[in-house]
Structure 1
Amino acid sequence: MMSQNYETSEEEEFMNVTVRPSSKKVHKSFEDADDDSSPKSLARQVKLLGELVTREMSSMRQELSRLNLTISGFDKRVSSIEERLDILEQKILPDNRMELQERLEKLEKRSPAEDNSVAESVIISQLRLELNEREQDNMLNDVEIAGLDEKNGESTINITLLVAKKIGLSLEERDIVSAERLGPRRIIADDAAGQRRPPRAIVVRLARRSVRDDLLRAARVRRGADTSGIIEAVQSKRFYVNERLTAANKHLFYKTRELGRRDGWRYVWTKDGRIYARRKDGSEVCRIRTPNDITKFFGNGTV
């Protein structure tokens, strides 16, 4: 058997040689590498990220500043509108009350012979109701503060500011149109039954209805606050901040509240000078406008 010799040319020998590059050309030092894990690259990324965050924060601050200016502008416009509405109400409501008062007085001055019509009696009752509601509407910016002892030389405006602070509301003097004790001054003394007569309430008229609402809301949250820090007294006692009611509505509210307690009604309250009652949660809300409504909802009106 003949053996075969395989010979390769110099060119083929060259082609079969694996050429390995020098390690100096392939491998770079760790310090000079420009991949994501190098300290220089990470530092550059952190710097870029910091600049991006700074720009975004600056943009957000500018946007918030513009938003605050816009909200401030809206607040001023709303306050201006409220003040204009209050001025209009204070101008229109007294005129309406005077007109109703004149009509009522004309009917009531009629002689008994002329005043024998049931229709006229209904008209008089309706006029009295409307007159009372107009008077109540004129008190929508008012509150009464009861339970504060009266002192000579007192500043009722300063007392009102202290009351507001006591219940967690910041008021300024410009928020108060007027503040005065209700009714003629009386001597603080014991009555015939030996009970100390309560001091006169302070009637406060606020510049805007929204301020009045804030004051009433704060008083409900801090129900039970006492006079410490407001009036110097031997013993602190509770004070009360409520809506101001007309004499007719005040009597109606007192009677409704007492009858509600007698009959186990859970809620009796006022809102914007209107009187409401509800027997229990989920039951019908009853509006009390006249003594006839008391008879309707509570039966015998004797307390």
Structure 2
Amino acid sequence: MPLVSNIWGCCSGESSNKDEKFINCNGCKRSYHFLCLSIDEIGKDSRIFRIWKCPGCLNQTPKSLRSDSTPVCNSSTPRVSKRPALNSPSPIGMSATKEDMRSIIQEVIKEEFSAMIERINTSMINTIIEHMEPIKREISDIVHSIDLINKRFEEIECEQSTLNRIVKDVQEENTILRSTVSDLNQRFNLIEQQSRANNLEIQCMPENKHENIYTIVKQLGEVVGCEVNETDIVHCSRIAKIKSASDRPRSIVIQLASPRIRDRLLAAVIKFNKSNPQNRLNSTHFGFKTKKSPIYIVEHLSPSNKALHAATRHKAKEKGYKYVWVRGGRIFVRKNEEAGYVFIRNLDTLEIL
């Protein structure tokens, strides 16, 4: 660009802004404002800036020598007013059009709207963060509580597992103990029954205040035809009632010298009753003048066998079994004459009758 005063080829440069950008023609050396040419500004370092020619010089240049990249302006195109920058004061002597005002208003509204949106977003984010802080603390407390509950649950589960193993062991031990106790009860009952192997029990014998039990036993032997000496009787006495409210007389327990003597006397009683079905052993055979009542001679059973014998009689009556008897401390039942006998070992045997 020359250092001398510019020779203007567009608007003489008098009414224009001194700082307005211009370009020099490489042919006529005249200066032209970019705004007057209605072309975009070209940097000074650009090749086009150095070789640019005005439309007059360009029309005198042969087409073969023209550069296609050279900006061309129609000289007949009037100068277009340059739009002032946003928020800058309007140039003197230049009035804003409706389009300029509309553009300015749109840009102002756009910037204000963007700023408002940004403020709203910031306010919303701050509000959300402010309200989320207590929730985050509560969630943290809940997570901590859940961790404590899980830990306690694991401890309880471990304790429960241990207790389950203990209970299982106790149940197994209890089963073994039940079996052992049942076996011991059977053995004890057997021993207790064997200790009564020499004994007989006289049931329903009327009581007399001045009675002599030894005399009654001797008289029993005389009635059934089996002699019983005093040496054969080891001990005899009446025993307490199982049910104190019962009106039956107390039973008499006779302890004989040996099981052989006991069995002989018992067999004689059975034979007597079979021989006298209409006058079985009763109170009149012993000289009692009271009402005739039957008298029973049975083996002396242990308390367990006595309870089992009572349950067997009740069950036999319920199931229609005709015979129930005791031999050697053991209890038997038979449905009828043709059926076989059943040995009643315990209460479980009664359940399968």
TM-score interval (norm. to shorter): 0.5 to 0.7
Amino acid corresponding to residue 314 of structure 2 in structure 1: E
- Aligned equivalent of 1:221, options 271, 279, 283: 271
Distance 1:231 1:198, change over 3 A: farther
Contact map agreement 1:149 1:231 (CA 8 A) in 2: no
Aligned to 2:156: none
Matches within 5 A, 1:111-126: 116-126=173-183
Distance 1:138 1:282, change over 3 A: same
SS state at 2:217 partner: helix
Where do 5+ consecutive residues of structure 2 fail to align? 1-168, 274-279
Aligned to 2:309: 253
* Cα deviations by residue, 1:73-119 (Å, 9 ceiling, x for unpaired): xxxxxxxxxxxxxxxxxxxxxxxxxxxxxxxxxxxxxxxx9685211
- Aligned equivalent of 1:127, options 184, 187, 190: 184
Instruction: Select between 286-295 and 225-234 the one with higher mean Cα deviation.
Output: 225-234
CA distance in 1, matches of 2:221, 2:231: 14
CA distance in 1, matches of 2:224, 2:320: 30
Q: How many positions carry a matched residue from both structures?
A: 178
Aligned to 2:342: 286
SS state at 1:178 partner: strand
CA distance in 2, matches of 1:184, 1:296: 32
Matches within 5 A, 1:1-303: 116-183=173-240, 191=245, 197-223=247-273, 224-297=280-353
SS state at 1:130 partner: helix
Where do 5+ consecutive residues of structure 1 fail to align? 1-112, 298-303
CA distance in 1, matches of 2:242, 2:308: 25
Amino acid corresponding to residue 123 of structure 1 in structure 2: T
* Cα deviations by residue, 1:222-247 (Å, 9 ceiling, x for unpaired): 22122225253422322111111011
CA distance in 2, matches of 1:203, 1:270: 16
CA distance in 2, matches of 1:229, 1:269: 24
Distance 1:259 1:114, change over 3 A: same
CA distance in 2, matches of 1:236, 1:285: 33
Distance 1:130 1:186, change over 3 A: closer
CA distance in 2, matches of 1:132, 1:229: 35
Contact map agreement 1:267 1:278 (CA 8 A) in 2: yes
CA distance in 2, matches of 1:238, 1:285: 26
Distance 1:198 1:231, change over 3 A: farther
CA distance in 1, matches of 2:346, 2:242: 31
Contact map agreement 1:141 1:207 (CA 8 A) in 2: yes
